[in-house]
Amino acid sequence: MREQVIINENLSLRRTDAGARFVCACGHDLADGSTNFKEACAVRESPTADIGEGYASFAVEMAAQMCFREFFCPDCGARLTTEVARVGDPYLWDTAPRL
Amino acid sequence: METAQNVVWDGIVRGYAPPDVLDIDPSLTLQTAEAAEVDPITYEVIRNSLQNINLEHGSTIQKLSISPITMIVRDFQCAILTEVGDVMFLGPYLLYLGNTLGLTTKWILENRSASPGIEDGDVFLSTDPYVGSSHQQDTGLTSPVFWGSELFCWVSNSVHYSDIGGPVPGSFCLMSQDIWQDPPCFPPMKLAEGGKVRADMEDLFLRQSRLRDTVGMDLHAALAGLSVARGRILKLIERYGAETVKAVMKRTLDAGERAFQEKLDMIPDGRWSERVYTEASVPGDPGIYVSQINITKEGDTLYIDNEGSSPQVGSINNTYAGLVGATLAPLTIMLAYDLGGVSGGVSRRVKFRPVPGTITCCDYPGAVSAAGVFNMPMVVATATGAVAKMVACADPPLREKAIAMADAQAYGGWIFSGLNQYGQFFVGMSAGMAAGAIPASPGRDGVDTGGLFWVPGMEAANVEENELAWPVLTLYRRENSAGAAGAGMYRSGVGAEEAWVLHGTDHLDSQIYMNESFVKNQGLLGGNPGGRAFHRLKQQTDAAAQLAAGTVPQGLDQVSGDEVPLFYKGMPAVLDPTSMWTTNLPNFAGYGDPLDRDIAAIQIDLTDGKLSTKDALKVYGAVVNEAGQVDVDRTAEQRAMCRRERLAAATVGVSHA
Ligand SMILES: [Zn+2]
């Protein structure tokens, strides 16, 4: 039986007295293990062109429909995950391991 | 294979999903008996012989074909399959084609065993993506190997043929709204009978092509590959007996399944998904579409679905065969890397539950000819994201085998046609970008221009080989820098850019060029996505004058002229003697928070000139002093400030679910 699932250096799913919880390496208790942890994150949504050099294109109307989302631990600011998405689309529930 | 209920996955109205037990005409006798005992040394000799036979099949195709895409780049696949069409050995070539050969062979067993029958010396040809190819150009040949009167096994290959007809040179029909605007689609037919090629069937296939001679030569290279593999297998059976060789085949598959199972045991149950956005169902369409792959792991089985994918539309579709091949490719790389191409055991533990009528699993008559450069890399990328997130959750050391996403435009495709320097019509597929980039993994950086990981044997053509084959001159080919694109705690390898002018002709048409409107990559678990793939064109340049004066332009911005705005899928672009153009295959995906990147790794990139001081600060929060060294203390302060700034700019608790 697993006590935890390491998802990355900052995020893990841990067995606790309160059931499976998504936890940040800083100790912050993020969310219930049966939910999309992204909902509990601090989220910065920006134009894809702002990611850096080379991301901008002259097809500005197409690019304007898209965004770059960064999901941070609301306590320590670690970037737990990212996604490129169409503006207004739901956060993708993409990581749902079970203990 | 498990699929949704009450739909006919017959390879006619819908992709072909074979049942677990095939419906084969009783007139065909299969060789199934296997020796009860095989000593370990004989086992290894036979197993390695089979693997080498398949490699020789591949090298035969490579040596005899004349299209650079096959001869140099190795954009093909070959396989040995069991008597019921389970893929046993795959070559180190284009991985997603592997399972397409299995599907085509199984369809033939079910649909051709009664009429016209399956006999010794037959070769079936199929271009039908609803039966089993990824798109029509990836034409499959599959041939039964008989021992006596019994069907012992199959040898198969799939090769990309330069032009197989249809409305546009190269047969990638971006304007297609349905299969009737695509190149022709031939369900499996007998190209050879009794060991002899049928002239009528060969003509039927070649008559469609603008490049009859080239395609004919490549077709005979593929036939020769089958012939070599078949002959070697018969020799092996002669020496060791059919039952012993069959026992080795079956046990190798079982061992492959067990090895895969051991990996699955290291992964918790759960569900993982990836979503990749694409655009332009046909040129001019401003729409945005979704490719989504979801993996549910329950015990010893993976269930794959594509729920969330957009309804099928225009020319941006792939069939069930494409979905299966594209998903098995990253699974093979991340969870069957130690099996030497024995993939059949893996697919036993992978069940597909596809949603039909979608761009990632379309129904007839959806158009699919463009899938080879658009959907297939896109679905491989999507599946890679889902598999990587799953594998990252595995127990160490398996989690380090996760690998982030290569680009949805991983071919960096540029397809062009016209008269070459010898006055002959040609269609070129530039795969100079086969140089690729290996994306990041948990625990390590990717590899700069490390190739395309789902075509392990792929090689980039030399500039000189391209210049010999096509009327072009390469001005430069160079690696990208390691800036924001693909950044992370572990960064992607960098991609590369190439620039050209015409040489020896005064006109070519660019049929396909990939200038993405927005980035289509996704970073892995905190990493940056890969960069945007771009293709730029300037007309009325002074590149020729600069060359005449002894200067080789080293960037599109170094020549005068007018940049032509190229859209992701535009109409053919005319190249003339004043044109200069570049393709850029971006860096692929990074892994983890860039602010967690090791300072020593940043220092190495700075010292190597791969990372600018500006990007070190902006992307990694690393403060570089005047001596070019990362200042450890100031970097710690800077990173703490970056984290505070992130939270100040972020919103908490806004649900998008
Ligand atoms: Zn935290």
Chain B: residue nearest A85 by CA? B277
Interface mutation vs chain A, best among B290, B303, B393, most A CBs within 10 Å: B393
Question: When comparing pLDDT for B567 and B329, which is higher?
Answer: B329
Rounded to the nearest angstrom, the distance between the alpha carbon of B596 and the centre of ligand 1 is 13
Chain A: residue nearest B612 by CA? A53
**Judgement on whether residues B557 and B619 belong to the same structural domain of the protein:** no
**Of the candidates B519, B22, B17, the residue with the CA atom closest to the CA atom of residue B277:** B519
**Judgement on whether residues B83 and B141 belong to the same structural domain of the protein:** yes
**Judgement on whether residues B420 and B495 belong to the same structural domain of the protein:** yes
Considering B579, B594, B609, which residue would you say is the last residue of a domain?
B594
Considering B199, B229, B256, which residue would you say is the last residue of a domain?
B256
**Judgement on whether residues B547 and B620 belong to the same structural domain of the protein:** no
**Judgement on whether residues B51 and B195 belong to the same structural domain of the protein:** yes
Q: What is the SS3 assignment for B413-469?
A: CEEEEEECCCCCEEEEEECHHHHECECCECCECCECCCECCCCCCCCCCCHHHHHHH
**Of the candidates A69, A73, A65, the residue with the CA atom closest to the CA atom of residue A91:** A69
- B178-230 pLDDT, tens digit per residue, is 999 999 999 999 999 999 999 999 999 999 999 999 999 999 999 999 999 99
- Residues of chain B in contact with residue A93, where contact means CB-CB under 8 angstroms, are 273, 657
Tokens of A39: 């909902």
Chain B: residue nearest A34 by CA? B270
Over 70: is that where the pLDDT of B71 sits? yes
Over 80: is that where the pLDDT of B2 sits? no
**Of the candidates B377, B403, B574, B404, the residue with the CA atom closest to the CA atom of residue B458:** B377
Find how far residue B290's CA is from the centre of its chain. 19
**Judgement on whether residues B469 and B547 belong to the same structural domain of the protein:** yes
Residue B429 lies in a domain: yes
**Judgement on whether residues B119 and B180 belong to the same structural domain of the protein:** yes
CB of B497 closer than 8 Å to CB of B554: no
Model pTM score: 0.97
Rounded to the nearest angstrom, the distance between the alpha carbon of A25 and the centre of ligand 1 is 6
Residue B261 lies in a domain: no
d(CA B651, CA A43): 5
- B412-454 pLDDT, tens digit per residue, is 678 899 999 999 999 998 875 677 899 999 999 999 999 989 8
Residue B33 lies in a domain: no
**Judgement on whether residues B639 and B555 belong to the same structural domain of the protein:** no
Given this model, what pLDDT does residue B200 score? 98
- Residues of chain A in contact with residue B654, where contact means CB-CB under 8 angstroms, are 43
Interface mutation vs chain B, best among A62, A69, A87, most B CBs within 10 Å: A62
Chain B: residue nearest A62 by CA? B517
**Judgement on whether residues B579 and B607 belong to the same structural domain of the protein:** no
| Mean pLDDT to the nearest integer, B241-246 | 98
pLDDT category, B656, cuts 50, 70, 90?
A: low
**Judgement on whether residues B494 and B539 belong to the same structural domain of the protein:** yes
Residue B357 lies in a domain: no
Residue B67 lies in a domain: yes
Residue B325 lies in a domain: no
- B572-592 pLDDT, tens digit per residue, is 899 999 999 999 999 999 999
**Judgement on whether residues B581 and B635 belong to the same structural domain of the protein:** no
Residue B323 lies in a domain: no
Considering B225, B256, B287, which residue would you say is the last residue of a domain?
B256
Residue B329 lies in a domain: no
Nearest chain B Cα distance for residue A11, angstroms: 9
3-class DSSP assignment, residue B513: strand
Given this model, what pLDDT does residue B655 score? 54
- Residues of chain A in contact with residue B653, where contact means CB-CB under 8 angstroms, are 39-40
Which residue from B290, B523, B644 is facing A77, i.e. has the nearest CB? B644
- B389-413 pLDDT, tens digit per residue, is 999 999 999 999 999 999 877 676 7
| Mean pLDDT to the nearest integer, B341-348 | 85
Query: Which DSSP symbol is given to A52?
Result: S
Given this model, what pLDDT does residue B341 score? 80
**Judgement on whether residues B505 and B549 belong to the same structural domain of the protein:** yes
Rounded to the nearest angstrom, the distance between the alpha carbon of B650 and the centre of ligand 1 is 14
d(CA B481, CA B605): 9
As for the ipTM of the complex, it is 0.99
Residue-range definition of the domain harbouring residue B438: 403-594
Number of folded domains that form chain B: 3
